[in-house]
Amino acid sequence: MKSFVTLLKNELKLNIRNMNMVIFAVIIPLVVLIILGFIYGTKPAADGTAYTFLEQSFGALCCISICAGGLMGLPLVVSEYRERKILKRFKVTPVNPVKLLVVEFTIYVIYCVVSMLTLFLFAMLFWKIKIHGSLLLFLGSWLLTMVSTLSIGLLVGGIAKNMKSASVIACILYFPMLIFSGTTLPFEVMPAAMQKIISMFPLTQGIQLMKATFLGLPIENVLLPVGFMGAVIFICFGISVKCFKWE
Amino acid sequence: MQTAIKVEQLSKSYGNLLAIDQISLSVKYGTVYGLLGANGAGKSTTIECILGTKKADSGTVSVLGLNPKEDRRRLFQNVGVQFQENNYQPEIKVSELCDETACLYKAPADWKTLCEKFGIGSKIDHAVKNLSGGERQRLFIVLALIPNPKLVFLDELTTGLDTKARRDVWKILSELKDNGLTIFLTSHFMDEVEALCDEICILKKGKAVFYGTVEQAKKASGCEKFEDAYLMLFGEVVEE
């Protein structure tokens, strides 16, 4: 446990020193929130809805940091450590590889938590958003979305041959998910056929669930997204640990 | 248990290139063993096959009575390693690298004291990438000693060090040896090998061409200076 804390502390310091994730996972979501805030303020999402546009978008905003960490940060750091032979140095120590993966994983969880809290604080102070649904259910959906997306990142970092291919896979996952999952473009405006395809992204499922729990909308068939994301987590973690390569 | 490292019939090839060919060696506890040879002779490959970071094609390896592949986590509690190429996180500081290494062991040495001993005590707040080549080399010897190991592998331990720093490193290693540390090293400096090693093995193109002590090497070659002996033993095989 002590070694976990020491590793986490040092790796987090290195990650912050790098600044990439501070910008992409904390500052960018905040900038998007502020822009949306100035445009929509406290206007309702549509005529006659009880909730505002910002409240409707809050779940999607939380997903920017989840995407940045899970689909860019985590795969790149794991493959970078392998390519730079830092993992090889760890191989000749008594460390358990699972511990290393969990340390890196936790760093991105921390970014997501920080991002979610700053977004909530800003949106609450300046644009008076409030949770219409259930806080606990919202946090549950957020957690599920985050862990499933990060686990995909862990898998990509784990199986990519080198940093270059990790970065290509990360881009292929990152941009479509960011654009089409409802993070930036609303899911509802897309054609039905496309909706079917992008429902395959765990992020899409997560955003729908977060939106519904935040706004207190009825959720039909809650088991489907929960089961789907749970399966993604299970499979991705399993493969990352099973197929872990030091070099 | 008399032998710290026992290697039998170890072979490894990369594609068609036979990197090491049927190497057998054994290292006694509390001794310094030197693996010598030209660049590309197979020294690093031998070390990596012993450590399990490379997979040997055939042969058996036992280190401190354990199998490095199967008992990795138990074995490396007591084994320190300095690789030929030093790898570290891009922005990491000396203190962070030492701290991160020390936290992995049950009973680590005090890394600050080790840094002082190796003359880099004033550099612990510096980024590793900003150290000079010699300072970085000493840092990685420190890292290999942080576990308080029973056995340490040092691959080209003093490459890049100035004369004074080399002598300092020898002195520290001799003291550690007197305290029971077993050392497995590779080196291109014959004065170093003569000063430190109890036994040596000379590799040529992946084959062991000489086993024994420095004195035996001199005797076998009929040379007074060990460097000449090394070249002679090396050269004889070329002519065969």
A140-155: pLDDT as tens digits: 999 999 999 999 999 9
Asked: is B1-77+149-239 a CATH 3.40.50.300 domain? The reply is: yes
pLDDT band at B238 (very low <50, low <70, confident <90, very high): very low
At residue B236, the pLDDT reads 55
**Is B92 in Cβ contact with A10 (below 8 Å)?**
yes
Q: What is the mean pLDDT of chain B?
A: 92
Between CA A242 and CA A225 the distance in angstroms is 25
- Tell me the mean pLDDT in the region A43-68: 90
**Is A14 in Cβ contact with B105 (below 8 Å)?**
no
Single-letter residue type at A170: A
Chain B (80-119) residues lying within 8 Å, Cβ to Cβ, of chain A:
81, 83, 85, 87-92, 96, 99-101, 103-105
Distance from CA of B67 to the nearest CA of A (A): 13
Q: CB within 8 A of A47, min separation 6: which ones?
A: none
Write out the DSSP string of A107-134.
Answer: HHHHHHHHHHHHHHHHHHHHH----SS-
Report yes or no: B45 and B12 within 8 Å, Cβ to Cβ: yes
Contacts of residues B162-171 at CB distance under 8 Å and 24 or more positions apart, as own/partner, are: B162/B134, B165/B119, B165/B134, B165/B138, B166/B192, B168/B118, B168/B119, B169/B118, B169/B138, B169/B141, B170/B195, B170/B196
Q: Which pair of tokens denotes residue A67?
A: 């995407």
CB proximity A246 to B under 8 Å = yes
Q: Range(s) for CATH 3.40.50.300 in chain B?
A: 1-77+149-239
What percentage of residues in chain A have a pLDDT greater than 70? 100
Residues A85, A10, A101, B154, Cα dihedral to 10°: 30
Select the residue of A7, A86, A95 nearest B87 (Cβ to Cβ).
A86
At residue A27, the pLDDT reads 96
Residue B240 has pLDDT above 50, yes or no: no
The most distant pair of C-alpha atoms in chain B lies apart, rounded to whole Å, by 54
List, in sequence order, every residue forming a beta bridge with B25; answer none if it has no partner.
Answer: B7
Q: Minimal CA–CA distance to B194: which of B47, B36, B81?
A: B36
Q: CB within 8 A of B152, min separation 6: which ones?
A: B79, B80, B81, B82, B144, B145, B181, B182, B183, B184
| pLDDT tens, position by position, B44-75 | 999 999 999 999 999 999 999 999 999 999 99
Q: What is the DSSP letter of B95?
A: H
User: Within its chain, how far is the Cα of B63 from the centroid?
Assistant: 14
Burial class (CB in 10 A: 0-12, 13-18, 19+), A196: exposed
Between CA B211 and CA B25 the distance in angstroms is 8
CB proximity B53 to A under 8 Å = yes
At residue B115, the pLDDT reads 97
Q: Which pair of tokens denotes residue B66?
A: 């354990």
